[in-house]
Structure 1
């Protein structure tokens, strides 16, 4: 179809004619014409947002991207040989994650199949991401389905990702620069994308519902424990606290409700949707066979369910006023020299009012450490965290310092107190301080030097008293040398420096691993690691640091059977290491125990239930030296 024919068909659809296009395409074309006032005869080149805007969008989507990453990489490996590229877009249609063949970068960028591309319908016209955002449905926009003639070579398939509260969070899309003529050729692509989205939503629900009962559902018992179709979480009062998109559709269908109105589902009694009480639902664990875990739905249908018991919250009732310092200090890490030295520094510095700069790679726990410093300090005010990289440059001053009534277009009529004032009497934590704009750096310096804050558009300064902590994964010394960071502000912030090492350099990695297993397990289903899985976790490089490890354990918790994490339950980038290590399970199990015991053969023998002589004999037979 040439340009003129394509424009004429869109115009006929706008006049009410039926041209044989899918209804979802026709509705999108009409939105483009009537709502967005787009001209089909005017070509629109792909839009790639600025690095500043991209950073803002990626920061806001960071938690979801981390949870989704393993599923995205697995999907890409499945489709890469067919020349697909993978895009993860946020709810505004901006691509925040991209996987594609770098040899096609120029063509992909020109087509908009690239990191930072903007695919919302008002910007790009009819496209898979934009139509998915508008409809909330999985769909394919194939070649001339696209509104804009510049996109008609593409074939794009997308599915929505919903958060646990039923709100659209992102869109997963796989696209081809060129593809077979038939649209039906993309049916398998839609199945793969939808399956990946289902697993991402399940992992997200499991990670956010550790203290709630989680119910996973399937229409057939054979798939209940391996690939559930839907899931919900329920609190101790029997009310729904979260759901996957499949769970939202299931709940809505059971009572004839609209799944697009999650407020009708969240916080409602679970008994409104199932012919079973909370105790009966909670009993549907793996203790019984899948075929025996049947439940009746209010609409008369029958499903099979798998209940995962909640992790019990620890509640203590002290008889004396508790010390906040000891629990906080113990949570810093295991008993190794580097962590002991960090505890010593925090103990000495926390009670002072010295500004502290925390340095470390992304994901090493800089905010977690800042919160511990605040807790130990004994300050009565709030801990106020500000991510300087996530606030748009034009808003950061009003966010930090507040604004006077009517100070600028869109300002609140009554004015607004800034985050600096919110930290009065407490701690202001400036995360990623290296990304603060230069102008805002100047104003922050004045606040720290004078103890006063002047709201944007205001004329009367206000006294403030707070402790400032800051953090950055960048070298502020280098930024000062390059003129990107104020030298005088740098010396105001780094009266003391605490440095967090990357996870791969931490000697207490086994301790951290045990804490996360406990965090993601439940009282009725504690998480355990097979020897091979433990070995992989201990040997992996962890480029994403503690955040990546946390997500990996959350992912494994969602997939594993009976709480035992095997290699196949780990994210793909980890399980792929098993071939590299090249060890059988006996070697892996034994080496993992020795690593956990830091090479102490006596302790390892005790854990294995054998004597030291037997353990030494096994080590020699398997060619294993004592780890140092």
Structure 2
């Protein structure tokens, strides 16, 4: 098929004609035309992200790549002789692992079959990785199935990898630079990729569910112990804590639910899905023959199950109950009640589409939290951050909504897509939303209400679909009362509110401090002297985590042999007074507590501080309450 024929076919599909292409290809072409506004007549060079951005994506995917590596290498050995290359892409379409013949490196890089290539649909048009991210299904995009003429020589087959909470986390793809004409030639490739993905998900579930009961399932007893089709993890009280994608489909089918809504499955009693209780399921171990491990599913079907007991058990024989979290949620903070509560909220809220409002002082880590929400959500699109306070008022509308050619003096001649459209299929993070001009608030409200964006100077609105997370250090409710923030926009943004405490009130301060020491160590151990640590623990930190991060970076640059002394800290910290009432020495605090016989209220009164401050001081300094 020639260049012009390919363009004409795409245009006919856009007009509603049926050209005989697979439905998944037709739907993708229409997304490219209508949603992403891509032009099939303009060839696009393959996009290879910068080394800095690639490093960030690879660090985020590090745990999965480690678990998946043996499966990836095994698959590559199976297909390398047929000249396939293997790509593992993250949920944003960036290739974080690549296996291919190095003698073809130049051609592979030019084609985008290379480490760091970006294969999201908005960026690359119809392609296997991008379509897989969008649909959540295994598929092949063969030669002229591709939207962009640059990619039509390629044949690419991909399958999605889901995390243990049911969110799409990566895509495994094998591709050919040139291939036979018939698309059916890639059926075996799809089988191989899907089988590898199933094994990777099972390995990931096992790695993340060591303290839970794991149940593996197969339709035939002969394959139960060697190649299970699905698996789930169950905690000590019988609630589902994790699953492979096959497990999600099994659970959803048993109750007539949608597997794309994992929040309906995770956390639910396992007995809701099977005609068996926890004890009966736990007894289905290798102590009995596979054919004897037959169980009934709630939809009337039967399966064979293999139970793998938890590695650790509590006294009395009950499995230890451990709250499983994704690696993204683990980055939120230390294991203290307030942060654990925030984790539980994120685990439930992130997979949905509710708008989330983040409240907290400047520097408390609101963008960090927003990125975690995006990662846990499993949304296929990008995370696009907008600092509403940093964009000049006269430019904010064109930055957010884009502009058509020549819309205003200084506008780009070819027009520009706005940040709202850049977030298509992903998360739009509006930082410091309280600083958005009132007129722009009105336009944003229309975008959220109608799901359409109208570029500056344009007449035809464009459909958009994204999840909005906003943040402000201001009390938006007070701004609404004062008439400086639209009430209708406020109620659209605050469907769920998460609050980040100031650094001075975080009980996991030491955990945060240790993470920053690791971050700025540059591969070497970075340690604090006792005096430097005490000074850091007692500083007010008005700039919160951002100020602490800068202080550790400063000290790391000055210190000798990785040992930070007081003299290495910024002057404003080493010279600053302690928090009010917190300048009492450790020994004095102990003495007052002992004199008060452990009565914290009385001790706080004598020290001239409130009870909360004294409790925090005791925790930080490791002072137990006297008995």
Query: Structure 2 length normalisation: TM-score?
Result: 0.58
Matched, 1:145 2:149: no
1:429 matched to 2:429? The reply is: no
Paired position in structure 2 for 1:215: 215
After superposition, the Cα gap between the structure-2 partners of 1:407 and 1:448, relative to the gap in structure 1 and judged at 3 Å, is farther
CA distance in 2 between partners of 1:222 and 1:457 (Å): 55
Distance across 2 between alignment mates of 1:140 and 1:71: 20
Q: 1:455 aligns with which of 507, 518, 543?
A: 543
Question: CA offset at residue 69 of structure 1?
Answer: 0.5
Partner of 2:254: 254
Q: Distance in 2 between matches of 1:381 and 1:140?
A: 46
Shift of 1:256: 1.2
Q: Which runs of 5+ in 1 are unaligned?
A: 317-366, 384-396, 437-443, 471-484, 497-628
Aligned-partner Cα distance in 2 for 1:399–1:188? 51
* Residue 203 of structure 1: aligned partner: 203
Contact conserved, 2:157 with 2:174, CA < 8 A, in 1? Answer: yes
Alpha-carbon RMSD across the aligned residues, in angstroms, is 3.8
Give the Cα–Cα distance (whole angstroms) in 2 for the partners of residues 31 and 401 of structure 1. 32
CA offsets 1:312-363 (integer angstroms, 9 cap, x no match): 34579xxxxxxxxxxxxxxxxxxxxxxxxxxxxxxxxxxxxxxxxxxxxxxx
Superposed displacement of residue 455, structure 1: 2.9
What is the CA distance between 1:493 and its match in structure 2?
4.2
Which TM-score applies when normalising by structure 1?
Answer: 0.58
Residue 381 of structure 1, CA deviation: 13
CA deviation profile, 1:609-628 (whole Å, cap 9, x unmatched)? xxxxxxxxxxxxxxxxxxxx
Equivalent residue, structure 2, for 1:491:
560
* 2:157 alignment partner in structure 1: 157
**What does 1:162-311 align with in structure 2 at a 5 Å threshold?**
162-311=162-311
Q: How far apart are 1:491 and its partner, in Å?
A: 3.0
d(CA) in 2 for partners of 1:275, 1:487: 59
CA contact (8 A) 1:159 1:173 kept: yes
Q: 1:213 to 1:450 in 2, by over 3 A?
A: closer
Deviation at 1:311, TM superposition (A): 2.1
Q: Secondary structure at the match of 1:19?
A: coil
Contact 2:504 2:540 (C-alpha < 8 Å) held by counterparts? no
CA drift at 1:176: 0.4
Would the aligned equivalents of 2:72 and 2:196 in 1 still touch at CA under 8 Å? Answer: yes
Contact in 2 for aligned 1:400/1:418 (Cα 8 Å): no
| Partner SS state of residue 491, structure 1 | coil
Q: Whole-Å Cα distance in 2 between the matches of residues 74 and 212 of structure 1?
A: 28
Task: Give the Cα–Cα distance (whole angstroms) in 2 for the partners of residues 75 and 17 of structure 1.
Answer: 39
Q: CA deviation at 1:235?
A: 1.1
1:494 deviation in Å? 2.4
Q: How much has 1:278 moved relative to structure 2? A: 1.3
**Mapped partners of 1:288, 1:94: distance in 2:** 45
Query: Aligned equivalents of 2:363 and 2:62: distance in 1?
Result: 24
The CA distance in 2 between the partners of 1:12 and 1:256, in whole Å, is 37
- State the shift of 1:429 in Å: 2.7
C-alpha change, 1:402 and 1:314, in structure 2 (3 Å) is same
Structure 1 residues 82 and 172, CA, compared in 2 at 3 Å: closer, same or farther? Answer: same
Distance in 1 (CA, whole Å) between partners of 2:256 and 2:390 is: 47
How far is the alpha carbon of 1:450 from its aligned partner?
Answer: 11
Q: Distance in 2 between matches of 1:307 and 1:166?
A: 21
Q: CA shift at 1:488, angstroms? A: 4.4
SS for the counterpart of 2:514 is strand
* 1:557-576 matches, cutoff 5 A: none
Q: Structure 2 unaligned runs (5+)?
A: 317-329, 341-361, 369-386, 392-430, 433-470, 475-499, 524-531, 566-627
**1:501 equivalent in structure 2:** none
| Contact preservation (8 Å) 2:364, 2:545 | no
The CA deviation string for residues 33-74 of structure 1, in whole angstroms up to 9 with x for no partner, is: 111111111111100000111111111111011000110011
Please report how far the alpha carbon of residue 113 of structure 1 lies from its aligned counterpart in structure 2 after TM superposition. Answer: 0.4
Distance 1:299 1:457, change over 3 A: closer
**Cα pair 1:6 1:144 within 8 Å, conserved:** yes
- 2:62 maps to which residue? 62
How far apart, CA to CA, are the structure 1 residues paired with 2:249 and 2:522?
42
SS of aligned partner of 1:159: strand
- Partner of 1:233: helix, strand, or coil? strand
Quick one: structure 1 residues 270 and 15, their matched pair in 2 at CA, closer, same or farther if it must change by over 3 Å?
same
Structure 1 residues 276 and 85, CA, compared in 2 at 3 Å: closer, same or farther?
same
Residues 406 and 413 in structure 1, CA contact (< 8 A), matched pair in contact too: no
Contact 1:40 1:147 in 2 (8 A): yes
| SS across alignment from 1:210 | coil
Partner Cα separation in structure 1 for residue 510 and residue 311 of structure 2: 35
1:94-122 CA-to-partner distances (Å, cap 9, x unmatched) read 00001111111111110000011000000
Determine helix, strand or coil for the equivalent of 1:429: helix
Alignment of 1:304-319 (within 5 A): 304-314=304-314
